[in-house]
Amino acid sequence: MKDYAAARKKMVRRQIIARGISDPRVLKAMEEIPRHQFVDEALQREAYQDNPLPIGDGQTISQPYMVALMTELLELRGEERVLEIGTGSGYQAAVLSKLCARVYTVERFPRLSETAKRVLKSCGIENVKYRVGDGTKGWPSEAPFDAIIVTAGAPKVPDALVDQLVEGGRLVIPVGDRFSQTLKRVIKTRTRTRAENSTGCRFVDLIGVHGWSE
């Protein structure tokens, strides 16, 4: 495949718009970010297909539609500070970087974090800060955040992440067992949190003290 730009437009039209994603800023970011650069060269021909792909260490780059859906649920307007749990390939962080002021991303595998940093730099993306560690703890020293996105399935919503949201902040996270989850959006108010269910999904495990054990 040589015309990756045409493939991205086709991906956005057939996989994302056709399924109801309508935020124009999300669609523009998905059309701009070169997803093929976030996978191994041997898989680049498959980069714009409607499925996740392996990236090593038992992790995956998420299906394009799921990236778009989770991003739209954050309702970003451009000035937010966003925490991402699970850097993975760096693709989700790249999309977020086009929609907010600053992305803080945590990955437990050093190799994935370094590779993501290299690829994002090659794309000219400079508003992302990286950390290697237990993402279930969040990033307390940089909190609070306007929005948090978790790209791994959790047994429950980690209180540590909710605590790091501003009032009115949104947390998007898959919650369920290790085989099937429900994508949830948690909105923090002054006195409580409100959870909304979006769709069924399946992600790799969220490993850590406030997630699954290995």
What is the pairing mode between strands 145-150 and 81-85? parallel
From 22, 62, 122, 198, the catalytic residue = 62
Helix (H) or strand (E) holding 117: helix 110-122
Q: How far, in Å, CA of 111 to CA of 139, rounded?
A: 19
According to DSSP, residue 63 is labeled P
Yes or no: say if 87 and 78 are a contact pair by the CB < 8 Å rule. no
d(C-alpha 139, C-alpha 83), whole Å: 8
Active site residue 62: yes
Active site residues: 62
